[in-house]
């Protein structure tokens, strides 16, 4: 990710991933999202179907993944193993008011 001219717009951590979760609060101006699973793997789907603990694309713990906001807005996440947490950082251009 090109850090130059980029603003950190927010961070969220989700620790309740025992059922499929979608993010509904994406900061205005975000265009890039970094996702990292903490301690346990997490699965996602972006086709409108909920992932399960055994079905979906796996995100390996402690690896940082980069998505566009358009991709991320379609995703739902679930823990592949109990006690997973998901850290999410939003980047883009901060909206300043005059």
Residue 33 resides in a domain: yes
The CATH number linked to 74 is 2.60.120.770
User: How would you list the strands of the sheet with 30-38, edge to edge?
Assistant: 7-14, 85-92, 30-38, 64-68
Q: What is the mean pLDDT of residues 66-83?
A: 96
For residue range 15-44, what is the model confidence (pLDDT) as tens digits?
999 999 998 899 999 999 999 999 999 999
**Taking the model in full, what pTM does it have?**
0.87
For residue range 42-59, what is the model confidence (pLDDT) as tens digits?
999 999 999 999 999 999
Helices and strands of the chain, counted as H and E runs: 1, 8
User: Average model confidence (pLDDT) for the chain?
Assistant: 92
Residue 71 resides in a domain: yes
Q: How far apart are CA 33 and CA 64, in angstroms?
A: 10
- Residue 16, domain extent: 7-92
Split into its structural domains, the chain has a count of 1
Residue 56 resides in a domain: yes
Q: How far apart are CA 65 and CA 46, in angstroms?
A: 15
Residue 1 resides in a domain: no
Residue 60 resides in a domain: yes
Residue 97 resides in a domain: no
């Amino acid at each position: 990710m090109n850090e130059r001219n980029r603003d950190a717009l927010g961070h969220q951590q989700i620790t309740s991933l025992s059922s499929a979760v979608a993010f509904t609060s994406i900061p205005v101006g975000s265009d890039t999202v970094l996702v990292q699973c903490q301690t346990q793997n997490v699965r996602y789907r972006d086709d409108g179907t909920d992932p399960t603990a055994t079905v979906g694309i796996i995100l390996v713990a402690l690896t940082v993944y980069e998505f566009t906001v358009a991709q991320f807005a379609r995703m739902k996440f679930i823990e592949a193993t109990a006690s997973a947490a998901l850290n999410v950082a939003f980047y883009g251009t901060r909206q300043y008011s005059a």
